[in-house]
Amino acid sequence: MSDTQFMDDLIVIGEAVPDELKDKRKVLCSACYSDEHGLVRIYPIPPNAHMRRWDRVSIPLERNPQDTRGESWKVQGSKREWDVLSEKIHRHGKLPQPGRISLLHKLYRDFGVDCIQNLNDNMLSLGIIKPDVLNAWMEERGERYDPTVQITLDSPTRFFTIHNYKLQPRVKYRCSDCRSQNPHNQQILEWGAYEWMRKHPDNPEQAIPNLRLTDPQYDKYFLVGNMSKYRNAFVVISVFRFKHGTI
């Protein structure tokens, strides 16, 4: 595959809570699906790109020499054109509800694994899991918590990154055919959960029930991905939940 691609069939399936680079840029990481290229990770993305789950987008992409994971790409001209990078990301509406269910079925069929160990064995950094959720809770972030929240240039409101949240949602689960000795204990990075905490600082714990993780009336699927520096460490990028019988 070429080191540059113009992907015009991307559907956003996951967006992680924003982070901050060493040079103080606020950045997003999005996971997408392409009929031609499969699962695609795009990082870094400026927050003003306004990409959201189920958006249809077209983006000129290039490989990131600092990220050798096969699914990883960045927007062409990422650093040198950062201030106007969002103009290269074109949205074409949202995938309708019936299409979302069909897509999730396809994702699980083509990229679903019985255990995260299978992703490691095949050197894959993104995959779909149907978990057996044992527990979900909020945990204090600890020493990485930074209460200082910045105001971005393109918005008069305060912009939160992952380090500005005192709490982090976590989940403990087993895969459908788990090979791990102990249950998986992972951080949830889905931006929607963090947005709830930002908008409802008096009730941040409600972010967990919102995800329906332990609700027996809902089927759950996780989009999981590993960390660039720690390839064996996975996090939950997106939680898909549908009432029983929907899929």
pLDDT one-digit tens code per residue, 54-105: 999 999 999 988 899 999 999 999 888 999 999 999 999 999 988 999 999 9
Separation between Cα atoms, residue 223 and residue 219, nearest integer Å: 14
Mean pLDDT of the chain, nearest integer: 91
Give me the residue label for tokens 């029930």: 209
- Is the torsion defined by CA of 158, 236, 247, 51 positive or negative? positive
pLDDT one-digit tens code per residue, 138-169: 999 876 656 665 555 455 456 889 989 999 99
Q: Which residues contact 145 (CB under 8 A, 6 or more apart)?
A: 163, 164, 165, 166
129 compared with 247, residue with greater pLDDT: 129
Q: What is the DSSP letter of 162?
A: G
Closest CA to 222 of 235, 209, 208: 235
Contact 76, 91 (CB under 8 A): no
What pTM was estimated for this model as a whole? 0.91
Closest CA to 19 of 139, 154, 159: 159
Separation between Cα atoms, residue 33 and residue 37, nearest integer Å: 8
Q: Rounded to an integer, what is the distance from CA 136 to the centroid of its chain?
A: 18
Take residue 236 and report the two structure tokens written for it.
């939950």
Position 113 confidence tier, pLDDT thresholds 50, 70, 90: very high
Separation between Cα atoms, residue 224 and residue 207, nearest integer Å: 19
pLDDT one-digit tens code per residue, 193-220: 999 999 999 999 999 999 999 999 999 9
Q: Quick one: average pLDDT of 222-227?
A: 95
Q: Quick one: average pLDDT of 180-190?
A: 94
Position 33 confidence tier, pLDDT thresholds 50, 70, 90: very high
